[in-house]
Amino acid sequence: MTSLLPEWTAYRQIVVADTSGGVIGSGKMQQVPYGSVDRDKPLIRLSYTRLLVITVSLPLLGLIACIVLSMLNHYNAATYTHCQVANYLPSISAAISLTPERYIWRFSIGLHSAPRVLMAAAYLGFYRCRFTRRRTDQLLSVLTFLLALSENVGLLLLTYVSSTENYNIHKNGFMIFIGSSLFHMLCTCRLWSVIAKYSLISEEMMSYRRKFRLFFFNGCFCLLAVYFFRRHNAYCEAGIYTLFAFCEYLVVLSNMAFHMTAYWDFGGKEVIVATSPEGKHF
Protein backbone atom coordinates (compact mmCIF):
# COMPACT_ATOMS: atom_id res chain seq x y z
CA MET A 1 0.00 0.00 0.00
CA THR A 2 1.47 3.33 -1.01
CA SER A 3 2.59 6.03 1.37
CA LEU A 4 0.23 8.98 1.68
CA LEU A 5 2.64 11.55 3.16
CA PRO A 6 6.39 12.14 2.77
CA GLU A 7 8.74 10.48 5.18
CA TRP A 8 9.71 13.75 6.83
CA THR A 9 6.25 14.39 8.27
CA ALA A 10 6.07 14.37 12.07
CA TYR A 11 3.04 12.91 13.79
CA ARG A 12 0.75 14.60 16.25
CA GLN A 13 -2.08 13.13 18.26
CA ILE A 14 -3.06 9.54 17.39
CA VAL A 15 -2.48 8.43 13.82
CA VAL A 16 -2.59 5.27 11.79
CA ALA A 17 0.55 5.16 9.71
CA ASP A 18 2.52 2.80 7.55
CA THR A 19 6.10 1.92 8.36
CA SER A 20 7.48 4.37 5.80
CA GLY A 21 5.64 7.37 7.22
CA GLY A 22 2.29 7.25 5.40
CA VAL A 23 -0.66 8.38 7.47
CA ILE A 24 -4.30 7.31 7.34
CA GLY A 25 -7.02 8.81 9.46
CA SER A 26 -4.80 11.23 11.35
CA GLY A 27 -5.80 14.37 13.15
CA LYS A 28 -4.14 17.80 12.91
CA MET A 29 -0.50 17.57 11.88
CA GLN A 30 2.59 19.74 11.90
CA GLN A 31 5.47 19.24 9.47
CA VAL A 32 9.03 19.45 10.75
CA PRO A 33 12.25 18.05 9.27
CA TYR A 34 12.77 14.34 9.87
CA GLY A 35 15.98 14.87 11.80
CA SER A 36 14.73 17.80 13.88
CA VAL A 37 15.08 17.67 17.66
CA ASP A 38 11.39 18.60 17.80
CA ARG A 39 10.34 15.45 16.02
CA ASP A 40 7.73 13.65 18.17
CA LYS A 41 9.03 10.57 19.90
CA PRO A 42 6.32 7.87 19.95
CA LEU A 43 4.91 7.07 23.37
CA ILE A 44 3.10 4.05 21.97
CA ARG A 45 3.89 2.31 18.69
CA LEU A 46 1.78 -0.70 17.76
CA SER A 47 1.21 -2.46 14.46
CA TYR A 48 -2.34 -2.07 13.19
CA THR A 49 -2.73 -5.81 12.69
CA ARG A 50 -1.81 -6.53 16.32
CA LEU A 51 -4.29 -3.92 17.53
CA LEU A 52 -6.93 -5.42 15.24
CA VAL A 53 -6.39 -8.94 16.56
CA ILE A 54 -6.61 -7.71 20.16
CA THR A 55 -9.75 -5.68 19.41
CA VAL A 56 -11.62 -8.54 17.72
CA SER A 57 -10.41 -11.12 20.25
CA LEU A 58 -11.99 -9.22 23.16
CA PRO A 59 -15.66 -9.73 22.14
CA LEU A 60 -14.89 -13.18 20.69
CA LEU A 61 -13.38 -14.52 23.92
CA GLY A 62 -15.99 -12.67 25.97
CA LEU A 63 -18.83 -14.26 23.98
CA ILE A 64 -17.37 -17.76 24.26
CA ALA A 65 -16.84 -17.31 28.01
CA CYS A 66 -20.42 -16.08 28.54
CA ILE A 67 -22.00 -18.94 26.58
CA VAL A 68 -19.88 -21.62 28.26
CA LEU A 69 -20.40 -20.23 31.78
CA SER A 70 -24.14 -19.81 31.28
CA MET A 71 -24.46 -23.43 30.14
CA LEU A 72 -22.30 -24.74 32.99
CA ASN A 73 -23.66 -22.63 35.84
CA HIS A 74 -27.12 -21.43 34.79
CA TYR A 75 -28.30 -23.89 32.16
CA ASN A 76 -32.01 -23.86 33.09
CA ALA A 77 -32.18 -20.08 33.42
CA ALA A 78 -30.15 -19.47 30.23
CA THR A 79 -32.22 -21.85 28.06
CA TYR A 80 -35.62 -20.95 29.52
CA THR A 81 -38.24 -19.65 27.07
CA HIS A 82 -41.69 -18.23 27.65
CA CYS A 83 -43.15 -21.25 25.84
CA GLN A 84 -41.40 -23.61 28.28
CA VAL A 85 -40.46 -26.01 25.48
CA ALA A 86 -37.20 -27.91 25.05
CA ASN A 87 -34.26 -25.62 24.28
CA TYR A 88 -30.59 -26.58 24.27
CA LEU A 89 -28.63 -23.37 23.61
CA PRO A 90 -28.88 -19.96 25.29
CA SER A 91 -29.44 -16.93 23.11
CA ILE A 92 -26.74 -14.27 23.29
CA SER A 93 -29.11 -11.95 25.14
CA ALA A 94 -29.75 -14.64 27.76
CA ALA A 95 -26.07 -15.53 28.09
CA ILE A 96 -24.92 -11.95 28.70
CA SER A 97 -27.72 -11.07 31.12
CA LEU A 98 -26.65 -13.46 33.88
CA THR A 99 -24.03 -12.99 36.59
CA PRO A 100 -21.00 -13.01 36.31
CA GLU A 101 -21.41 -13.34 32.53
CA ARG A 102 -22.78 -9.84 32.14
CA TYR A 103 -19.65 -8.32 33.73
CA ILE A 104 -17.34 -10.33 31.48
CA TRP A 105 -19.25 -9.18 28.41
CA ARG A 106 -19.39 -5.56 29.50
CA PHE A 107 -15.67 -5.54 30.24
CA SER A 108 -14.86 -7.02 26.81
CA ILE A 109 -17.12 -4.69 24.84
CA GLY A 110 -16.08 -1.62 26.82
CA LEU A 111 -12.39 -2.23 26.11
CA HIS A 112 -12.91 -2.93 22.41
CA SER A 113 -15.23 0.01 21.66
CA ALA A 114 -12.57 2.76 21.53
CA PRO A 115 -10.30 0.95 19.03
CA ARG A 116 -13.39 0.32 16.90
CA VAL A 117 -13.86 4.08 16.55
CA LEU A 118 -10.19 4.48 15.62
CA MET A 119 -10.55 1.78 12.95
CA ALA A 120 -13.64 3.45 11.52
CA ALA A 121 -11.70 6.74 11.28
CA ALA A 122 -8.79 4.95 9.63
CA TYR A 123 -11.10 3.53 6.97
CA LEU A 124 -12.62 6.97 6.39
CA GLY A 125 -9.17 8.43 5.75
CA PHE A 126 -8.31 5.49 3.49
CA TYR A 127 -11.46 5.92 1.38
CA ARG A 128 -11.07 9.69 1.10
CA CYS A 129 -7.57 9.20 -0.31
CA ARG A 130 -8.75 6.54 -2.75
CA PHE A 131 -11.81 8.42 -4.01
CA THR A 132 -10.47 11.95 -4.36
CA ARG A 133 -12.26 12.45 -7.70
CA ARG A 134 -15.39 10.40 -7.03
CA ARG A 135 -17.72 12.56 -4.99
CA THR A 136 -20.45 9.91 -4.78
CA ASP A 137 -18.06 7.38 -3.30
CA GLN A 138 -16.66 9.98 -0.92
CA LEU A 139 -20.17 10.59 0.41
CA LEU A 140 -20.68 6.84 0.65
CA SER A 141 -17.47 6.56 2.67
CA VAL A 142 -18.81 9.14 5.14
CA LEU A 143 -22.05 7.15 5.41
CA THR A 144 -20.02 3.99 6.01
CA PHE A 145 -18.15 5.76 8.80
CA LEU A 146 -21.42 6.88 10.43
CA LEU A 147 -22.83 3.36 10.16
CA ALA A 148 -19.70 2.00 11.87
CA LEU A 149 -20.24 4.44 14.74
CA SER A 150 -23.93 3.53 14.91
CA GLU A 151 -23.07 -0.17 15.02
CA ASN A 152 -20.71 0.49 17.91
CA VAL A 153 -23.31 2.53 19.80
CA GLY A 154 -25.95 -0.17 19.28
CA LEU A 155 -23.55 -2.81 20.61
CA LEU A 156 -22.78 -0.72 23.69
CA LEU A 157 -26.50 -0.13 24.29
CA LEU A 158 -27.49 -3.81 24.14
CA THR A 159 -24.44 -4.67 26.25
CA TYR A 160 -24.97 -2.28 29.14
CA VAL A 161 -28.76 -2.63 29.25
CA SER A 162 -29.52 -6.34 29.49
CA SER A 163 -32.80 -7.94 28.44
CA THR A 164 -33.68 -8.64 32.09
CA GLU A 165 -33.15 -5.00 33.08
CA ASN A 166 -35.07 -3.26 30.29
CA TYR A 167 -36.18 -5.46 27.42
CA ASN A 168 -37.31 -2.63 25.09
CA ILE A 169 -34.05 -0.69 25.32
CA HIS A 170 -32.05 -3.90 24.90
CA LYS A 171 -34.15 -4.85 21.87
CA ASN A 172 -33.72 -1.41 20.29
CA GLY A 173 -29.97 -1.58 20.85
CA PHE A 174 -29.89 -4.99 19.19
CA MET A 175 -31.89 -3.70 16.20
CA ILE A 176 -29.56 -0.69 15.83
CA PHE A 177 -26.56 -3.01 15.96
CA ILE A 178 -27.88 -5.50 13.40
CA GLY A 179 -29.29 -2.87 11.04
CA SER A 180 -26.17 -0.70 11.13
CA SER A 181 -23.97 -3.78 10.75
CA LEU A 182 -25.75 -5.00 7.62
CA PHE A 183 -25.78 -1.59 5.93
CA HIS A 184 -22.17 -0.99 6.95
CA MET A 185 -21.17 -4.27 5.29
CA LEU A 186 -23.19 -3.41 2.20
CA CYS A 187 -21.62 0.05 1.82
CA THR A 188 -18.16 -1.36 2.48
CA CYS A 189 -18.61 -4.02 -0.21
CA ARG A 190 -19.77 -1.32 -2.66
CA LEU A 191 -16.66 0.78 -1.99
CA TRP A 192 -14.35 -2.20 -2.25
CA SER A 193 -15.94 -3.34 -5.49
CA VAL A 194 -14.69 -0.07 -7.01
CA ILE A 195 -11.25 -0.49 -5.42
CA ALA A 196 -10.95 -4.09 -6.64
CA LYS A 197 -12.07 -3.09 -10.13
CA TYR A 198 -9.07 -0.79 -10.63
CA SER A 199 -6.55 -2.44 -8.31
CA LEU A 200 -3.76 -4.83 -9.25
CA ILE A 201 -2.84 -5.61 -5.62
CA SER A 202 -3.65 -9.21 -4.70
CA GLU A 203 -4.32 -8.37 -1.02
CA GLU A 204 -7.01 -5.88 -2.01
CA MET A 205 -8.68 -8.37 -4.34
CA MET A 206 -8.65 -11.01 -1.61
CA SER A 207 -10.00 -8.53 0.93
CA TYR A 208 -12.91 -7.63 -1.32
CA ARG A 209 -13.83 -11.26 -2.01
CA ARG A 210 -13.79 -12.14 1.67
CA LYS A 211 -15.82 -9.07 2.59
CA PHE A 212 -18.46 -9.96 0.03
CA ARG A 213 -18.67 -13.62 1.13
CA LEU A 214 -18.93 -12.69 4.80
CA PHE A 215 -21.62 -10.10 4.03
CA PHE A 216 -23.62 -12.71 2.10
CA PHE A 217 -23.13 -15.27 4.89
CA ASN A 218 -24.14 -12.75 7.55
CA GLY A 219 -27.25 -11.67 5.65
CA CYS A 220 -28.42 -15.25 5.09
CA PHE A 221 -28.14 -16.18 8.75
CA CYS A 222 -29.79 -12.93 9.81
CA LEU A 223 -32.82 -13.96 7.75
CA LEU A 224 -32.74 -17.47 9.20
CA ALA A 225 -32.50 -16.08 12.73
CA VAL A 226 -35.56 -13.89 12.13
CA TYR A 227 -37.46 -16.85 10.67
CA PHE A 228 -36.71 -19.16 13.61
CA PHE A 229 -37.48 -16.41 16.15
CA ARG A 230 -40.89 -15.70 14.61
CA ARG A 231 -41.64 -19.39 14.24
CA HIS A 232 -40.75 -20.00 17.89
CA ASN A 233 -43.04 -17.20 19.06
CA ALA A 234 -45.88 -18.31 16.78
CA TYR A 235 -45.84 -22.10 17.30
CA CYS A 236 -43.68 -22.78 20.40
CA GLU A 237 -42.01 -25.83 18.83
CA ALA A 238 -39.31 -27.69 20.73
CA GLY A 239 -35.75 -26.95 19.53
CA ILE A 240 -36.67 -24.02 17.28
CA TYR A 241 -35.26 -21.46 19.71
CA THR A 242 -32.04 -23.48 19.73
CA LEU A 243 -31.81 -23.02 15.96
CA PHE A 244 -32.40 -19.29 16.44
CA ALA A 245 -29.59 -19.12 19.02
CA PHE A 246 -27.21 -21.01 16.72
CA CYS A 247 -27.97 -18.64 13.83
CA GLU A 248 -27.46 -15.70 16.17
CA TYR A 249 -24.00 -17.02 17.06
CA LEU A 250 -23.06 -17.25 13.38
CA VAL A 251 -24.33 -13.74 12.70
CA VAL A 252 -22.13 -12.28 15.43
CA LEU A 253 -19.10 -14.40 14.50
CA SER A 254 -19.35 -13.45 10.82
CA ASN A 255 -19.60 -9.79 11.86
CA MET A 256 -16.33 -10.17 13.78
CA ALA A 257 -14.74 -11.94 10.80
CA PHE A 258 -15.84 -9.09 8.51
CA HIS A 259 -14.03 -6.57 10.69
CA MET A 260 -10.97 -8.85 10.71
CA THR A 261 -10.60 -8.32 6.94
CA ALA A 262 -8.90 -5.03 7.87
CA TYR A 263 -5.90 -7.30 8.49
CA TRP A 264 -5.27 -7.27 4.73
CA ASP A 265 -6.28 -3.62 4.24
CA PHE A 266 -3.82 -2.13 6.75
CA GLY A 267 -1.14 -4.81 6.91
CA GLY A 268 1.77 -2.36 6.74
CA LYS A 269 0.31 0.30 9.04
CA GLU A 270 1.07 1.30 12.61
CA VAL A 271 -0.82 3.10 15.35
CA ILE A 272 1.38 5.78 16.92
CA VAL A 273 0.74 7.94 19.98
CA ALA A 274 3.23 10.84 20.19
CA THR A 275 3.66 14.02 22.20
CA SER A 276 3.08 17.36 20.52
CA PRO A 277 6.10 19.63 19.89
CA GLU A 278 4.55 22.48 21.87
CA GLY A 279 4.71 20.39 25.04
CA LYS A 280 8.50 20.17 24.83
CA HIS A 281 9.20 23.89 25.20
CA PHE A 282 9.23 25.73 28.53
**Percent of the chain surpassing pLDDT 90:** 63
* Amino acid letter, 246: F
pTM of the predicted protein model: 0.82
pLDDT tens digit string along 199-238?
778 888 899 999 999 999 999 999 999 999 999 999 999 9
Every domain of the chain and the residues it spans: 46-78+88-273
Mean pLDDT value across residues 164-176: 91
Whether 7 shows a pLDDT value over 60: the answer reads no
Whether 39 shows a pLDDT value over 60: the answer reads no
- Rounded CA-CA distance 69/55 in Å is 22
* Amino acid letter, 41: K
